[in-house]
């Protein structure tokens, strides 16, 4: 029970990697806030998590709306009394080659993936600084480091996450706050399931271990960073990509 009685607020946690992170933390004893724009799926995830004997609530949240974030955090603190762990996982893609990419698709991806993490971190730090303790874990991506054709907006947002993480780590270490990032590679999620077998095969050739990862592989790294075992780690990026980027 590495996270017994800790409280974790996870954005985009109703499905995929976010949900796996929520389950992983619950298994280690954390009480979890499932924040997602899809409140029905968030409630289903919260119900699943309660089966592990911890508290969990669903919180409707659009991370592109700053006013929603403050309200969601207040609800979380009212329910759990403290704010130990923030996982900035919410993210979207709007793919197109750069010359064809619409300004609004660039703005939407940056607003949700990067600005959302910025505003959530800012609000969390206000609470964590008073506690003199907190863990912020941001979900980046392998494409932040290698780029990806058709994903200028997504790659830029995830590279920005790395810079944001390192800056938070430097600014707030003195307040007992640790900030780290996890950069997944190709992970089996709803987004990769729609790909053709030929595309999956070609992608698999880029991975030295020869296979896609699982959401649980990412969750394991996040749980570690949230735990006491990682208290002397801050400002770092853990790559979970099967050797795709070294």
Active site residues: 154
| Among the listed residues 221, 222, 214, the one whose alpha carbon sits nearest the alpha carbon of residue 87 | 222
- How many CA atoms within 13 Å lie on the side-chain side of 203? 20
Closest CA to 35 of 71, 19, 59: 59
* 86 bridge partner residues: 9, 136
Handedness of CA 187, 188, 189, 190 (dihedral sign): positive
* 3-state DSSP of 118-157: HHHHHHHHHHHHHHCCEEEEEECCCHHHHCCCCEHHHHHH
The values of phi and psi at residue 209, to 5°, are -75, -10
How far is Cα of residue 12 from the mean position of the Cα atoms in its chain?
7
Give yes or no for a contact between 109 and 157, defined as CB atoms under 8 angstroms apart: yes
Exposed, middle or buried, 210 (CB in 10 Å: 0-12/13-18/19+)?
Answer: exposed
How many Cα atoms occupy the beta-carbon half-sphere of 202 within 13 Å? 5
């Amino acid at each position: 029970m590495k996270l017994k009685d800790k409280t974790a607020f996870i954005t985009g946690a109703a499905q995929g990697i976010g949900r796996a992170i929520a389950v992983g933390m619950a298994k280690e004893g954390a009480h979890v806030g499932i924040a997602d724009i899809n409140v029905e799926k968030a409630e289903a995830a919260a119900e699943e998590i309660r089966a592990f004997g911890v508290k969990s609530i669903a919180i409707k949240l659009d991370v592109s709306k700053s006013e929603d974030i403050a309200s969601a955090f207040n609800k979380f603190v009212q329910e759990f009394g403290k704010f130990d762990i923030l996982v900035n996982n919410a993210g979207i893609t709007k793919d197109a080659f750069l010359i064809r990419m619409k300004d609004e698709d660039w703005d939407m991806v940056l607003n949700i993936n990067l600005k959302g993490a910025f505003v959530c971190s800012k609000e969390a730090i206000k609470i964590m600084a008073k506690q003199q303790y907190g863990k912020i874990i941001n979900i980046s991506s392998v494409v932040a480091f290698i780029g990806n054709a058709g994903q200028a907006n997504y790659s830029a947002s995830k590279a920005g996450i790395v810079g944001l993480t390192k800056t938070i780590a430097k600014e707030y270490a003195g307040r007992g706050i640790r900030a780290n990032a996890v950069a997944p590679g190709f992970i089996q999620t709803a987004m990769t399931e729609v790909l053709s077998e030929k595309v999956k095969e070609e992608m698999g050739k880029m991975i030295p271990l020869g296979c896609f990862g699982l959401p649980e592989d990412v969750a394991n790294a996040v749980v570690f960073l949230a735990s006491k075992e990682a208290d002397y780690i801050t400002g770092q990026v853990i790559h979970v990509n099967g050797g795709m980027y070294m």
